[in-house]
Amino acid sequence: MKDIFNVRLSSKAKRDVRKIPLPVALKLKAWIEDVGHRGISEVRKIKGYHDEPLKGKRIGQRSIRLNIAYRAIYIIKSDVISFIEVREVNKHEY
């Protein structure tokens, strides 16, 4: 598989980013910059991002942990990483 360096935010993800706390948005920006420089295969090795495949209704999607409360969910299509949403997760959703 060819490594991927391009990241795109959906319009929903862009709206979500405007609503999240600044430190969370900065971590997402750092992840995007890391992917642009190193490629997704190397960035997935960084434990601090907790990049993981999702299950159930979200099979085929992946998430990164931006902090204990926020996750960014993305998919890979045509050699581009597309963030579909940034969402707050709380213990009541488990």
**Mean pLDDT along residues 12-27:** 94
Does residue 44 carry a pLDDT above 50?
A: yes
Report the C-alpha gap between 81 and 23 in whole angstroms. 22
Does residue 46 carry a pLDDT above 50?
A: yes
| Beta strand ranges found along the chain (DSSP E) | 7-9, 52-53, 62-65, 70-77, 80-88
User: Could you tell me the pTM of the whole model?
Assistant: 0.87
What CATH architecture is 7-93?
2-Layer Sandwich (3.30)
Q: Note the pLDDT tens digit of each residue in 66-82.
A: 999 999 999 998 889 99
Does residue 93 carry a pLDDT above 60?
A: no
Structural domain boundaries of the chain? 7-93
Q: Give me the pLDDT at residue 1, please.
A: 55
Helix or strand (DSSP H, E) at 27 = helix 22-38
